[in-house]
Structures are given as structure tokens and as C-alpha cells.
Amino acid sequence: MTEDNQSLLNIGIGTKEPVTLKPKKVLCEGVKVVSKEKDGKVVGELITLMCKHPDKKEIIEISNAKVLGANDKVKISALWLNKDEDGKLAKKSTASEVLRQYEASSYGELVGKSLDTVTQSETNTFLCIKAY
């Protein structure tokens, strides 16, 4: 057993509640594409927004959005990089919905913009982009 594994055997349960960020406007400071893998194979690419939250020094990464889906129901979806046959973002994708919501024609235009955030749900307090 390695030293790291041995020390793991002695770590107890913490008592401090994790800090959760409240939904606020964030400043988009950059965008990157992250490859997602499953079983060693790339299954897709996620658009990830590098954002500055007013309550945190470090940059946070957001790759989900809440959008209006069928029957005007709000749904959470990942910002998958789905392209059409012309190499542009798929017209009805969540990634395109976010751009339309913030009146941008590309993700480069989101850099420097203020974006609204919401929690994913009452039980999942991770932030996502509000796009409805």
C-alpha cells in the first residue's frame, strides 16, 4: 500500500458545509471546448464558459444552461458542440439558444458580456446559464 493510500485510511468526515455560490450575474471571460470521454472514447465536446462570479476570486466553469423546451417547459441541458452540415452550431441546440438569448452570433461575442445564472434545481445547487 502506498503512503497516499495509507493516509486515506485515516481521513475522517468533515464538519464544514461546502460554500455554494448563489445565482448572480457572471462575467464571461473566456470560452473553451472540452472533450468528454466514456470508456476511453470521446463521446462529444462541451462548450465551457469561463466566468467570473462576484462572490469568488477564481474563475468558475459553466457548461450547462436552462432553456425553454417543448411545451414551454424549462429544462437543463449541456452546451454540447453540435454542428450542422455547414460546420455551424445546430440551429435548435442548447448552445444556439444561449447565443440567441444574449443576442450574440458566436461564442466569441459572449466574452465580456454579463450572463444570468440560476441553480440547476432545488436539490442541485450547481449554477448554469439562464437562457429563457
Place of cell 464544514: 16
pLDDT at 3 over 80: no
Which has more confidence, 19 or 115?
115
Q: What is the pLDDT of residues 97-129, one digit of tens each?
A: 999 999 999 999 999 999 999 999 989 999 999
pLDDT above 90 covers what percent of the chain?
79
The answer to whether the predicted template modeling score (pTM) of the entire model surpasses 0.95 is no
131 falls in which pLDDT band (50, 70, 90)?
very high
Q: Which grid cell sits at 104? A: 450574440
Q: Which grid cell sits at 71? A: 411545451
Q: How far is CA 120 from the centre of its chain?
A: 10
